[in-house]
C-alpha cells in the first residue's frame, strides 16, 4: 500500500489530505508472458480466455462457455469436450492423474446432461519416467473408464526430453449423447432457482497440497475425485427440471458460481453455514491461509433447479454414494448481474470474487 497526498486549499488554510491508494502486488493486469496463474481458474485465466482464445475461435458453440460443446445433428444432440491434466504428484490419496483424466472429462460431459460414451487419451511422457509408473496410470484409467461405462477408443503418445515434461501430462477428450429435451446451460438459469451442492468442498485441492508439501494431519485427507454422470442421469430420469449444472474444479465453488452468474446475468446469493467443509479441510485451509470456496474439487457439482423441486432433488442425490451430503446453499435472483454474495457465519455479507493470483498450482 502507498499513500497519495493531495492538497486542499481552503481560505486561510492549507491542509494535506491523505488518500490511501491500494497497490496490489498480485498479477491482475496484462502480462507479456504467461504466468502459472493464467491456468489457475481465477481472474488471469478469465482474461486469457477473453483476450486470446475466445476472440480467435469465436463461434456460437464456444461462446456458450459450457463444460462441453452441445452439437446437434438432426434430432440427435452430442456433447463434446476436452481437458488436460498436469497434476503433481501423479499419485495422491483418493486418486491419480489417470483416474483424474478419465473422471474429469466424464464430468464435463455430464454437466451438459450427456451420457458419456467414448474418450480419447493423449500422453505426453517425459524421458526417464519409470515404466511401472506409466503402467499404474494406464491401469487406473482402464478401471475408471470401466466403472463409468465409457470406452477409450483412440489416443496418442509423445515423449519429450528429460526435464521438459514434469513426468507425465495427459489430455482426454470425450463424446456423450444427450437423450432428453432439457437445455442445461448457464444461460438458462432463472431468478428464484435453488442452488444445490452435491457434497463437501475442498478435499481434492487440500489432498494434493498436503502430499506435495509433506503436511501431516490426524487423518488422511482424500481427494473427492469421482465420475458424476450417474447421479446426474438419475436426476434427469426422475424428471427434475435441471436448468444448469457445473462441476467444481480449479477455481472451486467460487469460480463456478461467478461464471454462471455472469452468463445468466443474475445475482447469486449463498450462505457459508450451509456449505459443507469437513473439519480436516477447514483446519488445513486455516493453517495454509486458503479459502475453501476457491479450493479445487474433482467430484462435486452444483445444480440450479426450480425451488419447488428442492426436496425431490435432494432425496435423489442423497441416495447416491456421491451425493449423500447434498444440500441447498443459496438462490439465484434478479439483482446485480454477475455478482455472487456470501452470507458469512458471523452475519456479514461479502462479495465472492475471482482470485487474482494462483492459490494452488497444478492440482487438476
Assigned C-alpha cell, 362: 497444478
**What is the structure's pLDDT at 339?**
97
CB 280, CB 221: distance < 8 Å? yes
DSSP for residue 111: T
Q: Which of 28 and 214 is assigned the larger pLDDT?
A: 214
* Segment 49-93, tens digit of pLDDT: 999 999 999 999 998 888 899 999 889 999 999 999 999 999 999
Per-residue pLDDT averaged across 168-173, rounded?
A: 98
Between CA 221 and CA 215 the distance in angstroms is 10
Between CA 138 and CA 83 the distance in angstroms is 17
Predicted model pTM = 0.88
Assign 3-class secondary structure to 29-82. Answer: CCCCCCCHHHHCCCHHHHHHHHHHHHHHHCCHHHHCCCCCEEEEECCEEEEEEE
Between CA 115 and CA 105 the distance in angstroms is 12
CB 35, CB 18: distance < 8 Å? no
Report the side by side order of strands in the sheet with 69-73.
69-73, 76-85, 168-178, 115-126, 151-160
CA 31 distance to own-chain centroid: 24
> CB atoms < 10 A from the CB of 204, how many?
34
**Least confident stretch, 170-174, 210-214, 308-312:** 210-214
CA 273 distance to own-chain centroid: 21
Q: Is the pLDDT of residue 19 over 70?
A: no
DSSP for residue 294: G
Q: Determine what percent of the chain is predicted with pLDDT higher than 70.
A: 90
Assigned C-alpha cell, 306: 426450480
Q: Is the pLDDT of residue 355 over 90?
A: no
Residue with cell 457445473: 246
**What is the structure's pLDDT at 65?**
85
Between CA 337 and CA 266 the distance in angstroms is 4
Strands, DSSP E only, in 179-266? 194-197, 244-247
pLDDT, averaged across the chain = 89
Cis peptide before 89 (omega within 30 of 0): yes
Q: What angle do CA 355, 361, 362 make, to 5 degrees?
A: 130
Between CA 37 and CA 360 the distance in angstroms is 9
Assigned C-alpha cell, 165: 515434461
* Segment 236-290, tens digit of pLDDT: 999 999 999 999 998 899 999 999 999 999 999 999 999 999 999 999 899 888 9
* Segment 194-223, tens digit of pLDDT: 999 999 999 999 999 888 878 777 778 999
CB 35, CB 45: distance < 8 Å? no
**What is the structure's pLDDT at 362?**
63
Per-residue pLDDT averaged across 181-206, rounded?
A: 96
DSSP per residue over 320-359, as a string? STT-TT-EEEEEEESSSTT-EEEE-TTS-EEE----SS-S
CB 359, CB 206: distance < 8 Å? no
**Least confident stretch, 30-34, 98-102, 161-165, 183-187:** 30-34
Please choose, from the candidates 205, 187, 308, the residue with its C-alpha nearest in 3D space to the C-alpha of residue 248.
205
Q: Which of 177 and 28 is assigned the larger pLDDT?
A: 177
Residue with cell 491461509: 289
Per-residue pLDDT averaged across 310-334, rounded?
A: 97
CA 275 distance to own-chain centroid: 16
* Segment 82-127, tens digit of pLDDT: 999 999 999 999 999 999 999 999 999 999 999 999 999 999 999 9
Bridge partner residues of 349 (DSSP): 343
Amino acid at each position: 500500500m502507498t499513500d497519495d497526498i493531495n492538497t486542499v486549499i481552503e481560505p486561510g488554510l492549507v491542509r494535506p489530505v491523505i488518500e490511501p491508494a491500494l497497490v496490489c502486488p498480485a498479477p491482475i493486469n496484462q502480462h507479456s508472458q504467461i504466468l502459472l496463474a493464467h491456468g489457475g481458474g481465477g481472474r488471469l485465466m478469465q482474461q486469457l480466455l477473453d483476450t486470446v482464445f475466445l476472440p480467435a475461435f469465436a463461434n456460437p458453440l464456444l461462446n456458450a462457455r459450457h463444460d462441453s460443446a452441445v452439437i446437434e445433428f438432426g434430432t440427435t444432440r452430442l456433447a463434446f469436450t476436452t481437458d488436460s491434466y498436469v497434476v503433481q504428484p501423479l499419485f495422491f490419496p483418493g486418486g491419480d492423474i489417470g483416474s483424474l483424466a478419465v473422471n474429469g472429462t466424464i464430468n464435463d460431459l455430464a454437466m451438459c446432461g450427456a451420457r458419456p460414451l467414448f474418450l480419447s487419451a493423449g500422453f505426453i511422457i517425459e524421458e526417464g519416467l519409470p515404466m511401472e509408473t506409466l503402467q499404474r496410470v494406464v491401469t487406473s484409467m482402464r478401471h475408471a473408464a470401466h466403472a463409468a461405462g465409457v470406452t477409450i477408443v483412440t489416443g496418442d503418445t509423445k515423449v519429450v526430453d528429460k526435464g521438459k515434461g514434469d513426468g507425465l501430462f495427459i489430455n482426454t477428450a470425450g463424446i456423450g449423447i444427450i437423450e432428453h429435451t432439457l437445455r442445461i446451460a448457464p444461460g438458462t438459469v432463472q431468478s428464484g432457482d435453488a442452488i444445490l451442492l452435491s457434497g463437501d468442498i475442498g478435499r481434492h485441492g487440500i489432498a494434493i497440497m498436503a502430499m506435495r508439501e509433506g503436511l501431516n494431519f490426524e487423518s488422511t485427507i482424500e481427494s473427492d475425485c469421482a465420475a458424476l454422470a450417474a447421479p446426474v442421469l438419475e436426476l434427469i430420469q426422475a424428471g427434475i427440471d435441471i436448468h444448469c449444472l457445473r462441476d467444481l474444479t480449479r477455481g472451486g465453488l467460487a469460480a463456478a458460481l461467478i461464471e454462471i452468474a455472469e452468463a445468466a446475468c443474475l445475482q447469486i446469493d449463498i450462505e457459508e453455514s450451509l456449505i459443507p467443509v469437513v473439519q480436516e479441510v477447514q483446519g488445513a485451509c486455516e493453517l495454509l491461509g486458503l479459502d475453501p470456496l476457491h479450493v479445487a474439487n474433482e467430484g462435486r457439482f452444483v445444480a440450479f433447479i426450480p425451488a419447488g423441486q428442492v426436496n425431490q432433488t435432494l432425496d435423489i442425490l442423497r441416495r447416491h454414494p456421491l451425493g449423500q451430503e447434498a444440500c441447498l446453499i443459496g438462490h439465484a435472483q434478479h439483482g446485480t448481474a454477475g455478482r455472487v454474495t456470501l452470507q458469512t457465519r458471523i452475519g456479514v455479507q461479502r462479495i465472492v470474487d475471482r482470485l487474482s493470483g494462483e492459490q494452488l498450482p497444478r492440482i487438476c
